[in-house]
Amino acid sequence: MKKITFTFLLIISILLGVYVPLANAAEFSFSDNFSENYNIDTSRSNYKFANGMISAPDNVISTNIVSVPLINTYYNIGSARLEVSDYSPAGGRIVYFISNNNGNTWTETTKNVFVNFSSLGNSARWMATIGRANINSASPEIHSIKLTVRESGSVVSSYYYGTSATTDFGNFAFKQNVVPDNELNSVLGRQVFTRSGFLATNSILNTTVVQNNTSNANNNTQVAGASINKVSGVATGTTSSLVLSLLISTFATIIYMTYTQTDLFKNREALAVVKKHRSDKNRFNFL
C-alpha cells in the first residue's frame, strides 16, 4: 500500500514540475523630476514646461502628454505602476495611462497601484491627460513621476540602449530618444550574473545614464536614474522542471510519511490487516 501511494505521489509531482513554471519577476524603475523635458515625446504631446513642472498650455482646456520609451526589457512587461507628485486645482483633473508596447495601446491606471497588461510588449511609456475647468482656470501640474515595471516570463525580443544601437541581451532598463540627440556620455555601472538551468538569473545594479546637453550654453547635465530593484530566479529548460518536480515530490513524501506515523493511519492499517485475515480464514473454511 505504501509503495503504491508513494509511486502515485511521485508521478503526480513530476507532472506538476513540468507544467508549473517558476516566475521571472524582474522589476525596473525610472524616475524623472522634470529638471529638463528630455523624456517627453514632443511629437505626441502639447504641454507647457516651466520651473520643473509639466502642465497644459495656456490656450487649451485639455491636452495629452506622452513620454518617450523609458524602460525596455528583454522579457514581456506584465504589469506597471506610476508614482506621481502632482497638483490639481478646483475643477482640474489628471488621468494617467501606461503602455507596455511603445504606445500602441494604453491602459488607464491609478497612482501607486500596479496595473496588469492584456497586451504583449517590452517598451514602457506613460501618458497623462490634463484637463482644467475652463480656459481661464489654472492647469493641473505634474512635478515628478516614477515608472516601475515588472516582467513576466515570456521573451518578446531583443532591444537597444543609448543611441549607439548596441544590442544588449540582458535585463537592462534604459533611456532613449534624447533631445537634443547629442549624447556625449553613457555611464553604465553594471553587475551581471548569469547561470544556466534552475539557477539562471540576470542582475544589474547601480545603473545610471548620464545625458550631457552640449547645445545648452551652460552645458547643463541631466542625470536620469534607471535602476533595478530586484531580480529573481529565471526558470529555463528541463533543468528547472526536474528540480521543481523533485522539490514537490520531496514535500509530498514528507507529508505522507508524517501521516503514516499518526494514530489514524495506524488504526486503518490494523483494521486492514484484520479484514484480510478474516477474508483468508473464510476462504480456507470454504475450501
Whole-number pLDDT of residue 63? 94
Does the pLDDT of residue 190 top 50, yes or no?
no
Q: Give the Cα separation of 287 and 11 in Å (integer).
A: 41
**pLDDT above 50 for 178:** no
Mean pLDDT of 6-33: 61
User: pLDDT, tens digit, for every residue of 107-155?
Assistant: 999 999 999 999 889 899 999 999 999 999 999 999 999 999 988 765 5
Give the model's pLDDT for residue 139: 95
Query: What pLDDT sits at residue 236?
Result: 33
Condensed to tens digits (0 to 9), the pLDDT of residues 40-95 reads 999 999 999 998 899 999 999 999 999 999 988 878 889 999 999 999 999 999 99
The confidence band for 229, taking pLDDT boundaries of 50, 70 and 90, is very low
pLDDT at 225 over 60: no
Q: Which of 154, 200, 192 is nearest to 172 (CA)?
A: 192
Cα Rg of the chain (Å, integer): 29
Distance CA 166, CA 174 (A): 12
pLDDT at 171: 34
**Half-sphere exposure for 71 (CA within 13 Å, toward CB):** 37
SS (H, E, C) 252-273: HHHHHHHHHCCHHHHHHHHHHH
Q: How many residues does the chain have?
A: 287
* Domains of the chain, first to last: 2-17+241-286 (no CATH), 23-234 (2.60.120)
- Of the chain, the percentage scoring pLDDT greater than 70 comes to 46
How would you class 227 by CB atoms within 10 Å of its CB: exposed for 0-12, middle for 13-18, buried for 19 or more? middle
- Distance (Å, whole) CA 26 – CA 234: 9
Bridge partners, residue 208, by sequence:
225
Per-residue confidence (pLDDT) for residue 116, from 0 to 100: 94
Beta strands in 88-169 (DSSP E): 93-99, 107-109, 115-116, 123-131, 141-155, 160-161, 166-167
Cell numbers placing 241: 522542471
Higher pLDDT, 254 or 272: 254
CB-based burial, 188-219: b 16+ in 10 Å, e otherwise: beeeeeeeeebebebbbeebebebbbeeeeee
Cα distance between residue 159 and residue 167, in whole Å: 6
Residue 255 binned pLDDT confidence (cut-offs 50, 70, 90): confident
The pLDDT, as a whole number, for residue 269 is 67
